Structure 1
Amino acid sequence: MPEMTVLDHRNQPAEAAPVPGWRPGATAPRTDPAPLLPDAEPYRVLGTPAAAGTDPELLRELYRRLVAGRRYNQQATTLTKQGRLAVYPASTGQEACQVAAALALRPADWLFPSYRDTLAVVARGVDPLQALTLLRGDAHTGYDPRATRTAPLCTPLATQVPHAVGLAHAARLAGDDTVALALLGDGGTSEGDFHEGLNFAAVLHAPVVFLVQNNGYAISVPLTRQSAAPTLAHKAVGYGVPGRLVDGNDAAAVHAVLTEAVERARAGGGPTLVEALTYRIEAHTNADDATRYRQPEEVDAWRAHDPVRLLEDALRERGLLDERLVADAAEQAERLAARMRAEFHTDPAPDPMSLFAHVYAEPTQQLREQADRLAAELAAEAEAEDGTGSGVPGR
């Protein structure tokens, strides 16, 4: 092998800094990838011997929340058709991922949702009306992220991933045992922010968990056109992070895998990438025509693997589901839907000046000028409406 010459910052020969365990001509130290690889088949609980060891009350709570979540998706979709929401990306068929994600966290942990994760935000305890504020077009977010420990819904793909890593790392530096859970779809794994976030999380050993809800499509683009990896969970190995593969429609399995990953991160074990195999039953949004890129037979096949039905069948098999629980869950879901209808019946009156409230801790000169100009225009409009002004905004 030819002699190596190491250059310093002036491009001049310099002494080579020693690297522990490595010498020129030798391979760098490696981590055994085997423990990081996901299982060959998605992890399942319902319908397997593992179901017998699952807490019955947890299964009942998951059932109540899945029923309410399904009704939430239906009502939000209806509100969109009525013009009460500007857009709604339904998570119908993905409710198990949404509910399990919320239940796997402690109150002090943080959730970083994408635009399709309003159900997870509601399951986290955020008011349904506030959770839908962004999709209604009223404000950038309708809830206080700090008070709810829930980041704003993220519309750009995967940009919440580095945010989750940064918060988790900062919490650890502060001595907190906070864990961050970032939610994204399969399309988000094709974005640079996803790769950068995983790399930083691994290097920093940050207490963060990534849940990829692989519903098969990034709008109309199937997964086969995005990635040639065996599974998206295999991507974890390239960053030195363990990958887990789980049946995303098995609520008990998703909850078990996420709870294990969250507590592992809390104990100092570092990040985990979880891929949940699920399906988006509805179109991408109300503006999408899903029939143009997928066949009805495909949708019907996934309907047979519906997360609500899977859990209901498992509960009945163990004698944990009676008519009272079914009626109570349905009644709770209807109360939620009725509240959504009632609250969305009234048009809000957003304050335009709130646009400047949470941009910088110290507003820039440009922002101050824009705020002053808007305030003057609003004052002029108010004067005109009172009949005391010229009626020309800004004068």
Structure 2
Amino acid sequence: MATDQQAFGAAITGLGLVTPAGVGIEANRDRVWSGVSCTAHDDMLAECSVNLSCRVPGFDPEAMLGGFQARQLERFVQLAIVAARQAVADAGWDTRTWDGARVGIVLGNSLGGIQSLLTGHASMLRGGPRQVSPLMLPMYLVNMVAGQVAIDVRATGPTQVTATACASGATAIGVAREMLRRRECDVVLAGGTEAALTPLAVTGFDRMGALSRRSSDPAGASRPFDADRDGFVPAEGAGVLVMERLEDAGARRTPVRAVVRGYGATTDAHHPTAPAPGGEGIERALRTALRDAGIDGSDVDHVNAHGTSTPLGDVVEGRMLARVLGRRPLVTSTKGVIGHTLAAAGAIEAAYTALAVEHKSVPPTANLCRLAPELDIDVVHGAPRTASVDVAVSTSMGFGGHNAALVLTAA
């Protein structure tokens, strides 16, 4: 392995996952590694042309957060707080005793509390200004997820929200690593969250032609890299990682699940929603992340790909992976199981990548029956693949031409 000894490593010491695969690490490992899709018909989307989604099962905010707090928080914040609490506990921290001034938060989000905005708009049309809740803006604003998580975990260091569409969660992890490198913080909670499964938002994606229309076969709708893919399945969820400097994690004698060694970000500057047809942007992001990590592409064992199940995006990304990494890495897209969680996707997938590194097992890509003929990559399907995963990559692409890539290694 061509490793640069100067490459900065940020230890992942805690994970929190609230996704369509379940609440918690074990539930996610069981479902994602099973390769069984979470997609189902969604009664709340009954009025839409496409009524498929992946929702978080059994999520009871009042039971998990308390009724008073839950009623003042929009769902994207509720998901993030539960994930953050899990991650902190997994890392062995006690928020009552840590130095909050040395704790930062970076979370990705795109659509904010869209439900609160829609409810406020309907209330104003129906009854005028006095019918609009004073909580509408605090519940809707995108930045409030970082603020509310900070309140919950008593973090008074720097906090921010990254908004690079479907790359937001990966961007947040890259920013968090840089904050640790610059010693702005000693601990950073990094990740992403999204809960925008409203008829309006889902219809917007449908009108763009981005969604799968396989309503007669919900479980088979999301099929990344498959020859018969026809679009993604919208989902909700949150993923939060606790990140620390390696030496600090060592001093605490806490287990390290994986290490974030490299990060790269670029912009296509090509089209508002379509990727650059040659994949030049995501390729530069990946090459930048590898260079940042001091790792050669030939050493990559595994890729958790963006792989949304769209006709154009999967081919662009798959061809890029073959160019940069060859056919050696075991490639997967976990969106076949949990759908596309939008701004949360990069963080959730980074968490799955860390678990693949830790447990030396790559989850399968659900519903892959016949690899798209344009691609020459080794996509894991049917069952998990046991392998030595010392170096892994997670790639993310978002509307607006945003690209991000992360390189993770074993501790």
Q: Same fold (TM over 0.5)?
A: no
Q: Give the TM bin, normalised by the shorter chain.
A: under 0.3
Give the TM-score taking structure 1 as reference length.
Answer: 0.27
Give the TM-score taking structure 2 as reference length.
Answer: 0.26
- Structure number with greater Rg is 1
Would you tell me which structure has more strand in proportion to its own residues? Answer: 2
Higher relative contact order (CA 8 A, sep 6+): 2
Would you tell me which structure has more helix in proportion to its own residues? Answer: 1
